[in-house]
């Protein structure tokens, strides 16, 4: 079927939904409260499902063309702050990385995007066949449709993240009681980094000095990154997640991306799942006879999978920063890592 839709929010999920619906012949307007798309942001790794969704939206080749592909083999490890490797993994190239601003710009091309337009209550949108709530973790649309009991809840953790110039000697994550630090490639000449503490609230600047105070003695690439971090490039915020919803749709309103399933970042799947949401929503409505049928199909396809992903990401964060039992955890991971390395060695002969 075809109709007219308003998308509330121009993040990854909102623009993906707008683009996918437009592909199906819908008339779509995107309302964004900000004056423009963001110009800064870290690199996003595009999982195969996300690339398939981009292909379905007709922009897969554009994203691949604008992305950085890490063609060389990358070895990443799970380590202790002292530098002991628990697990070592090797990826033989093919990693596709695209900056958030670049991805948003590609998705927005040709979309009717209206900046400076805040929608606090989607019930005031008259004559619209479909309202897509893509207004993020603290979604007003979610609260309006499902109530205050489904407001975003804190995860009891804070994160700092950013990008530094150059590569580093060691990629991967370092786990410690109540803290973790991760480093990933961001392209041939840069690296992404993120640091997390098991703590509520947020910290006042200067963040660079605080990071050095907490992580300055950690090895395996962490000190290399800390030396290159510039204060003005640091992003810092508390982590929240959306509670599991009974449905992603109600009436003619549907949620996508963080508005539906905002999750902890520990699996690196948030943006990718938002892209898959958008493609699925367009496909389901394009194949349906009514909006209700299309939204029911979308909810069936996406809710269980994404809520399971959110739960897995939360558990991964707890495992990484556990304060009790971490010695046994490290022993178990170390044993698993030894088996993996032995298997790789045997395959090499």
Q: DSSP string covering 274-329, please? A: HHHHHHHHHHHHHH-SSHHHHHHHHHHHHHHHHHHHHHHHHHHHHHHT-SSSHHHH
Mean pLDDT score, 46-54: 95
Burial class of residue 36 in the structure, from the number of CB atoms within 10 Å of its CB (0-12 exposed, 13-18 middle, 19+ buried): exposed
CA separation for the pair 227, 243 (Å, rounded): 38
Q: Answer yes or no: pTM beyond 0.85.
A: yes
DSSP 325-342: SHHHHHHHHHHHHHHHHH
Q: So what's the pLDDT on residue 204?
A: 94
Q: Is 178 helix (H, G, I), strand (E, B) or coil?
A: coil
CATH tag, 4-326: 3.50.50.60
The yes-or-no verdict on residue 187 having pLDDT over 60 is: yes
pLDDT in tens, 267-295: 989 999 999 999 999 999 999 999 999 99
pLDDT in tens, 87-138: 887 665 567 889 999 999 999 999 999 999 988 777 778 889 999 999 999 9
The edge-to-edge listing of strands for the beta sheet with 95-99 is: 43-45, 95-99, 68-70
Provide the CB-side half-sphere exposure for 31 (13 A, CA): 16
* Contacts for 339 with CB less than 8 Å, ≥ 6 apart: none
Across 44-58, 69-83, 104-118, least confident range = 69-83
Percent of the chain at pLDDT exceeding 70: 93
* Contacts for 67 with CB less than 8 Å, ≥ 6 apart: 46, 96, 97, 98, 102
CA separation for the pair 303, 300 (Å, rounded): 6
Percent of the chain at pLDDT exceeding 90: 76
Residue 348 in tokens: 């090499």
Taking each continuous run of H as one helix and of E as one strand, the counts in the chain are: 11, 16
pLDDT in tens, 58-74: 999 999 999 887 655 56
* Average pLDDT score over the chain: 91
Q: So what's the pLDDT on residue 340?
A: 44
Q: Is 63 helix (H, G, I), strand (E, B) or coil?
A: helix
* Contacts for 73 with CB less than 8 Å, ≥ 6 apart: 90, 91, 92, 93
Q: Where are the domains of the chain?
A: 4-326
The gap from C-alpha 314 to its chain's centroid, in whole angstroms, comes to 13
Q: So what's the pLDDT on residue 96?
A: 85
Cα–Cα distances (Å) from 199 to 137, 158, 171, 203, 238, in that order, read 19, 6, 25, 10, 9
| Cβ–Cβ < 8 Å for 313, 263 | yes
The yes-or-no verdict on residue 319 having pLDDT over 90 is: yes
Q: Please, what sign has the CA dihedral across residues 176, 177, 179, 184?
A: positive
Nearest to 315 by CA among 267, 245, 268: 267
The yes-or-no verdict on residue 330 having pLDDT over 50 is: yes
pLDDT in tens, 161-185: 999 999 888 889 999 999 999 998 8
Burial class of residue 66 in the structure, from the number of CB atoms within 10 Å of its CB (0-12 exposed, 13-18 middle, 19+ buried): middle
Mean pLDDT score, 258-267: 95
DSSP 8-class letter at 115: E
Q: So what's the pLDDT on residue 112?
A: 96
Q: So what's the pLDDT on residue 121?
A: 79
The yes-or-no verdict on residue 49 having pLDDT over 90 is: yes
Tokens 């489904």 sit at which residue?
A: 150
| Cβ–Cβ < 8 Å for 259, 9 | yes
């Amino acid at each position: 079927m075809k109709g007219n839709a308003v998308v509330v929010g121009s993040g990854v999920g909102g623009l993906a939904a707008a683009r996918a619906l437009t592909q199906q012949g819908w008339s779509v307007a995107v309302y964004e409260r900000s004056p423009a798309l963001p110009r800064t942001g870290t690199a996003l790794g595009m999982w195969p499902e996300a690339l398939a969704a981009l292909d379905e939206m007709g922009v897969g080749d554009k994203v691949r063309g604008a992305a950085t592909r890490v063609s060389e083999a990358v070895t990443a490890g799970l380590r202790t702050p002292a530098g002991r490797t628990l697990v070592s993994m090797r990826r033989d190239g093919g990693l596709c990385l695209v900056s958030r601003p670049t991805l948003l710009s590609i998705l927005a091309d040709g979309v009717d995007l209206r900046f400076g337009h805040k929608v606090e209550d989607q019930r005031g949108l008259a004559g619209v066949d479909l309202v897509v709530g893509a207004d993020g973790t603290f979604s007003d649309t979610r609260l309006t449709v499902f109530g205050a009991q489904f407001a975003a809840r804190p995860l009891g953790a804070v994160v700092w993240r950013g990008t530094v110039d150059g590569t580093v000697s060691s990629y991967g994550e370092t786990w410690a009681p109540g803290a973790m630090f991760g480093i990933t490639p961001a392209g041939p000449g840069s690296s992404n980094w993120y640091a997390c503490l098991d703590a509520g609230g947020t910290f006042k600047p200067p963040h660079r000095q605080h990071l050095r105070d907490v992580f300055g003695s950690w090895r395996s690439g962490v000190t290399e990154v800390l030396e290159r971090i510039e204060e003005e490039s640091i992003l810092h915020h508390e982590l929240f997640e959306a509670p599991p919803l009974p449905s992603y749709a109600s009436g003619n309103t549907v949620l996508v991306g963080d508005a539906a399933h905002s999750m902890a970042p520990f699996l690196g799947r948030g943006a990718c799942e938002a892209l898959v949401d958008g493609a699925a929503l367009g496909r389901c409505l394009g194949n349906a006879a009514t909006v209700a049928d299309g939204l029911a199909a979308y909810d069936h396809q996406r809710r269980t999978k994404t809520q399971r992903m959110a739960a897995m990401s939360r558990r991964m964060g707890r495992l990484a920063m556990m304060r009790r039992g971490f010695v046994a955890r490290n022993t178990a991971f170390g044993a698993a890592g030894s088996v993996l390395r032995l298997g790789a060695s045997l395959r090499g002969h």
